[in-house]
Structure 1
Amino acid sequence: MAAPNYGYEKRQKELAKKKKKEEKLREKAIRKLSPSSEGLMPGDPETDVASLENEAPTVPTTPTKNS
């Protein structure tokens, strides 16, 4: 009986992981380009432009290194 090829199995896992990540990024880019898609809610802060316009910008309360 032949010994298992763990390197091959690991490479296949890595390729599957990479493919899944690329697919997620592609779907995310498609969602950004078409905000009127069915899966998004109008009141969702990530997609609702009106809510972003009405919110005041946040200012950090702790001093930064540069200031």
Structure 2
Amino acid sequence: MAKPNYAFEKRQKELAKKQKQQEKQQKKLATQNEPSRDDVTSQAPRGIAGRDV
């Protein structure tokens, strides 16, 4: 029976953890860069006499 390769398992676990952290960071940055819903609606084009279209 083959003996377990603990170093390989540890490395794989570290890589998975690092990948998860990077995805979380990207998601966090994406939500910060998106304009909020209030900002989008306040920038909507106006019709005649300033009324909403």
TM-score, structure 1 normalization: 0.52
More helix by percentage: 2
TM-score, structure 2 normalization: 0.65
Unaligned runs of 5+ in 2: 39-53
| Structure 1 outlier segments of 4+, above 6 Å | none
Q: Which has the higher contact order (CA 8 A, sep 6+)?
A: 2
Q: How many residues align?
A: 38
Structure of higher CA gyration radius: 2
> CA RMSD for the aligned pairs?
1.7
Give the aligned residue type for 2:10.
K
Over the matched positions of the two proteins, sequence identity in percent amounts to: 55
